[in-house]
Amino acid sequence: MKELLKFEDINISYEKRQVLYDVSFSLDYGEILGIVGNSGCGKSTLLKSILGLAGPKVLSGNIYFEDSDLLAINSRDMRNIRGNRISMVFQESGIHTNPLKTIGDTVFESMKAHKQISKEDSLGIALDIFESLSLPEPKRILKAYPFELSGGMNQRVGIALAMLNNPSIILADEPTSALDPIVAVQIVNELKSLREKYNTAIILVTHNIKIARSITDNILILNDGKVVDYGKTTEVLSSPKSDFTKELILSSVT
């Protein structure tokens, strides 16, 4: 079967400074891939390049999503993929949702951007997702503004919003690093249950190797923009090739 997403020898720069070097990997349907590395190694840049977000310039290589060549498609097709087929969860979802709109209004907007749907139907779909994520008081959440919710709740809502259009991939950029450990574990479990329920593939960017160990099928370790280890999570973490990965594992034990 064909891969869902495939990176081939991707090189990326900002202005004149190269930040990613010959990055290759693939993502299967329903797979959870962890991308792990220190701050500044290019993790967010890698995710941005998938959605063609402004900033990073792809110097060479290919990115394929199903049958689409993501570096060659027009902006209309990219808009259709973005938020619909591939959606994003940020480190702090609360600051990425419009503070002047209720969650319910944000739900309706992000669904009607991609298909004809009534407000009532969109809220119904959101309620189903909230319930499948066991969010407390789902109806109240729809009426709330982001500032009325806790950081952890905003993050859980952010994940639910990312699921609205039933994407085949969720890109989660350090979704737990602003949260306390108990909420972080809850978020990780929710991502896992989404994969189980909807077969959504997830790229989880994290600098926390314990989280990567607990949830990912495959793992890609980045150091200074280069892939230093990549493969099945259990194999990479039990017999890492690079000294960088070995140190990362040692430092996570303490």
Ligand X SMILES: Nc1ncnc2c1ncn2[C@@H]1O[C@H](COP(=O)(O)OP(=O)(O)O)[C@@H](O)[C@H]1O
Pick the binder of ligand X from 2, 55, 166, 247 (CB under 6 A): 55
Q: Is 208 in the site for Mg ion (CB under 5 A)?
A: no
Using the contact rule CB under 5 A, the part of the chain among 43-51, 76-84, 113-121, 244-252 near Mg ion is 43-51
Give residues with Cβ within 8 angstroms of 101, minimum separation 6: 109, 145
Residue 201 Cβ vs ligand X, minimum distance, rounded to whole Å: 20
Which residues inside 162-201 make contact with ligand X, applying CB under 6 A? none
For ligand X, how many residues bind (rule: CB under 6 A)? 11
- Asked if 45 interacts with ligand X (CB under 6 A), we say yes
Site string for ligand X, 57-96 (x = CB under 6 A): ----------------------------------------
State how far the Cα of 11 lies from the Cα of 54, in Å rounded to an integer: 16
Strand duo 86-89 + 32-36: pairing: unpaired
Whole-angstrom CA distances from 133 to 105, 145, 150, 254 are 20, 19, 16, 32
Q: Name the β-bridge partners of 227.
A: 222
Residue 19 contact partner, candidates Mg ion, ligand X, none, CB within 5 to 8 A by sort of partner: ligand X
From candidates 20, 23, 44, 209, binder to Mg ion by CB under 5 A: 44
42 binds, among Mg ion, ligand X, none (CB under 5 to 8 A by kind): ligand X
Cβ nearer to ligand X, comparing 37 with 83: 37
AA letter at 181 = P
**191 CB contacts (<8 Å, ≥6 apart)?**
32, 159, 170, 172, 175, 202, 204, 215
Q: Is there a contact between 213 and 192 (Cβ–Cβ < 8 Å)? A: no
**2-41 residues near Mg ion, rule: CB under 5 A:** none
In Å, how far are 33, 175, 177, 206 from 211, measured between CA atoms? 12, 11, 10, 8
Establish if 45 lies at the interface with Mg ion (CB under 5 A). Answer: no
Q: Which does 33 bind (CB under 5 to 8 A by kind): ligand X, Mg ion, none?
A: none
How far out from the chain centre does Cα 108 lie?
21
Instruction: Supply the DSSP symbol for 82.
Output: B
Q: What is the closest distance, in whole angstroms, from the C-beta atom of residue 47 to ligand X in the complex?
A: 8
Residue 18 contacts residue 42 (beta carbons within 8 Å): no
Q: Identify which range of 32-40, 93-101, 164-172, 243-251 contacts ligand X by CB under 6 A.
A: 32-40
The reply on whether position 19 binds ligand X by CB under 6 A is: yes
Binding site residues, Mg ion, CB under 5 A:
43-44
